[in-house]
Amino acid sequence: MTQTIPESFLGVGYTSHRAGLPLEAVRFHVPQPSADQVLIRVAASSLNPLEYKLADLNFMGRTPPVALGLDLAGVVIAVGHAVGGVDVGDTVTAMADLNGDGGWVATSGNKDVGGYALARQFLTVHKPASLSFRDAAALPMCFLSAFAGLYPAAQAGDTVYIPGGGGGVGHLAVQMAARALGAGSVISSGSTPESIALARQSGAHHVFDYKRDDIPAEIAKLTGGRGVDLVFDATYSEHSFVEAAKTVRRGGSWIVLGVGPGKTTRLAETRSPVSTILAERAAKHVNVNLLRYFSEPATLDSEARAFLQRGMALAMEWAEQGLVCRN
């Protein structure tokens, strides 16, 4: 059956250059896919901290209005001429480009009214039938962030510290480490009863309260003074960076999501002791920043595209197997 594609839809996004919050309902044009893009009629979309920071700071220098809801799931209604393996009518999970528009629709809840968004083919995967549109749409950005940090680095049997295991990226990272990548022990932290419970429920073996506990001392006790093999820190907190760096074993790895130590505010750079702490332990410091991947996907080489596509496929596979889910 041929779908009629409307000219516009009522989406939700930001409308001014700075301090774009609160968000507004705006009429957006339904775009046309370019060669490697897929046009999706959105059934569900989700909102990440990265997106509300985008609305607040417009750090991509976009000309508003910009529709949010970059993580999405829906039905393909048109494909570019170079797209293969994804066809009109397929149900998919995808992530729209960070320098494009999302598909958050103002009339959510009405199944006859959807948003429309473009995604690159390599950031579009088939959605398993057992996974709801809603559960699928909550995964891409957080899952890929955890995947990019952990997948290349974690070894089966590792002792891993993932601060903030009740956060969006953090709880997926805990699930991934504990259930899919075979970590021997997963240690995490949180500051509220809810986030501590979520870290535990996600598979963390030990969860500390970062506002009350001396986490480096606790981890030293747990590991017989050795420290952890790997830290993955997606908290964007300088306090966490410093404390987590103190938990790494000699020769271990400290992996941080985003811009890294000393730069968490975007507005001012501060001196951070993290590199000194890591150097004392001869630990590896890895920065995983997906911003360019998400904002300029057209510039990515085939290796980077294949890596992200593998991540999207594993998100679906592991979600279908019940190993990961967004809470």
Ligand X SMILES: NC(=O)c1ccc[n+]([C@@H]2O[C@H](COP(=O)([O-])OP(=O)(O)OC[C@H]3O[C@@H](n4cnc5c(N)ncnc54)[C@H](OP(=O)(O)O)[C@@H]3O)[C@@H](O)[C@H]2O)c1
Minimum CB–partner distance for residue 300 and ligand X (Å): 14
Q: Is 203 in the site for ligand X (CB under 6 A)?
A: no
What is the size of the binding site for ligand X (CB under 6 A)?
31
| Cross-strand pairs, 238 | none
Verify binding: residue 117, ligand X, rule CB under 6 A.
Answer: no
Angle between helices 140-150 and 302-320 (to 10 degrees): 110
Q: Look at residues 121, 142, 136, 187 and name the one whose alpha carbon lies nearest to residue 160.
A: 187
Q: How far is CA 118 from the centre of its chain?
A: 18
Going residue by residue from 168 to 187, which x/- string records binding to ligand X, judged by CB under 6 A? xxx-----------------
> Which residue, among 261, 258, 254, 199, has the nearest Cα to 229 in the 3D structure?
254
Q: Which of 37, 46, 93, 189 binds ligand X (CB under 6 A)?
A: 189
| Binding of residue 188 to ligand X (CB under 6 A) | no
Phi first, then psi: what are they for 178, rounded to 5°? Answer: -75, -35
Any residues with CB less than 8 A from the CB of 262 and at least 6 apart, and which? 238, 269, 270, 271, 272, 274
CB of 5 to ligand X, least distance (A): 31
Q: What is the CA radius of gyration of the chain?
A: 20
Instruction: End-to-end CA distance of the chain: give it in Å, rounded.
Output: 35
Measured from each CB, the residue nearest to ligand X is: 167
> What residues from 227 to 246 belong to the interface with ligand X (CB under 6 A)?
234-237, 239-240
Closest CB 205 distance from ligand X, rounded Å: 17
Q: Identify the residue among 65, 69, 102, 166 touching ligand X (CB under 6 A).
A: 166
Amino acid present at 307: F
Continuous segment of H or E residues that includes residue 291: helix 291-295
Which of the residues 264 through 293 are near ligand X (CB under 6 A)?
Answer: 289-291
- How far apart are CB 3 and ligand X at their closest, in Å? 32
* 68 contributes a contact to ligand X by CB under 6 A: no
Binding residues vs ligand X (CB under 6 A): 48-50, 53, 141-142, 145, 163-164, 166-170, 189-192, 195, 210, 234-237, 239-240, 257-258, 289-291
